[in-house]
Amino acid sequence: MPSPRPADLFFACVPLVLASASPRRQDFLARLGLQFQVAPADIDETLHADESPEPFARRMAAAKAELVARDRPDACVIGADTVVALDGTVFGKPRDPDDALAILQTLRGRTHQVITGVAVVCPARGIDEVFTVSSEVSFAAFPDDILRAYIATGEPMDKAGAYAIQGRGAFLVRAIAGSCSNVVGLPVHDLVAVLLHHRLVRVAPVEQRRSSDHPLP
């Protein structure tokens, strides 16, 4: 395994693989100092009839991690899937601008749930843990012309729920209850807690994390 670098907060005790192409999830892991590989999983993401949002997110995360783990039994594979839900309905990525507008109109002025399923699979250590984290997001009631202007930026088109809280879509959000990183796509606190519990990552030695802004005497 690679040695911790000076700016690393954590380092992996086993090879880490992220079963996701999401730049946002990659950024979260990179900010922690974790070195990892990316292996997106191509799975069927069809919602089953009468399947509620939380079980769906769990099933998707597990399916992604398990698929990648078949080829990487030596590694710790992290799978994740984030869904936006309101009144039991799951809102995925919009099909087109009209669909994006319909989604944002439905969410407008109401509080919805953002649920992320996370799977941590490490066959070599017999670890197969799946969990979900839910946050509540309250939208302001913006008129259609503003929603259309936001959609015209193109940002909503590849985002579940047709908005990106870490981008221009932040203006839509009036309040958040729960994990902010979960709304972006990865509940970082909960994931790190699981990785530490299973000793898949460790804290980098303090002496190796000297900051140029705060040098040690």
pLDDT per residue over 107-165, tens digit each?
999 999 999 999 999 999 999 999 999 999 999 999 999 999 999 999 999 899 999 99
Q: Quote the CA–CA distance of 202 and 25 in Å, as a whole number.
A: 19
Rounded (10°) angle between helices 97-107 and 144-152: 140
When pLDDT is averaged across residues 56-65 and rounded to a whole number, the result is: 97
pLDDT mean across residues, the chain: 92
pLDDT per residue over 6-43, tens digit each?
568 998 999 999 999 999 999 999 999 999 999 999 99
pLDDT of 46 higher than 60? yes
pLDDT at residue 214, rounded to an integer: 45
The one catalytic residue in 50, 71, 81, 87 is 81
pLDDT band, residue 210 (cuts 50/70/90): low
Contact indicator for 79, 65 with CB cutoff of 8 Å: yes
Global pTM value: 0.88
pLDDT at residue 3, rounded to an integer: 55
Q: Are strands 16-18 and 37-38 parallel, antiparallel or unpaired?
A: parallel
pLDDT at residue 163, rounded to an integer: 96
pLDDT at residue 6, rounded to an integer: 53
CA distances from 65 to 76, 104, 144 (A): 9, 30, 39
DSSP code at position 7: T
Residue 42 designated active-site: no
Q: Which domains does the chain have, with CATH numbers?
A: 10-208 (3.90.950.10)
Top-confidence residue, 8 or 208: 8
When pLDDT is averaged across residues 181-199 and rounded to a whole number, the result is: 96
pLDDT at residue 106, rounded to an integer: 98
pLDDT band, residue 207 (cuts 50/70/90): low
